[in-house]
Amino acid sequence: QLQLVESGGGSVEAGGTLTLSCAPAGYSYNDLCMGWFRQSPGKEREGVAAILSDGRMRVAESVKDRFTVSQGRTKNTLILRMTNLSPEDSGIYYCAAEVTACGFTPADFGYWGQGTQVNVSS
């Protein structure tokens, strides 16, 4: 079955930069919806950025001026570059994938990584 390998989380000071990577493993798919979601204590899981199977890119309005999403050299690998981080960006970031069409909501994704912690200090 499809597995998602996440990397790149860590701790940075406000204003710093982190780059997250998600690589599918264990199965081959021609088309995948791939996205990054995040969740902090007391808040619902929310979409951060995604690349749809037709190549369209989505980035949440709250972070679009600071975050960018791209495809890595490995097929379906999803890269999230986060700049000018603030404490409000802290949380667990989850990579997600779906083998069928998807929107920009967690309910549309059937495969999830274990999450990678992002901590931004003041």
What digits encode the pLDDT tens for the residues 21-48? 999 887 666 678 899 999 998 999 999 9
Q: What is the end-to-end Cα distance of the chain in Å, rounded?
A: 40
Range of weakest confidence among 14-23, 68-77, 104-113: 68-77
Q: Rounded to whole angstroms, how far apart are CA atoms 105 and 74?
A: 24
Residue 75 has a pLDDT of 66
Residue 25 has a pLDDT of 87
Q: Rounded to whole angstroms, how far apart are CA atoms 2 and 99?
A: 10
Find the mean pLDDT for residues 10-20: 98
Backbone angles phi, psi at 108, to 5 degrees: -80, -10
Q: Rounded to whole angstroms, how far apart are CA atoms 116 and 122?
A: 20
| Residue pLDDT, tens place only, 47-105 | 999 988 777 899 999 999 999 999 887 767 899 999 999 999 999 999 999 988 888 99
Burial, 17: exposed, middle or buried (Cβ in 10 Å; 0-12, 13-18, 19+)? exposed
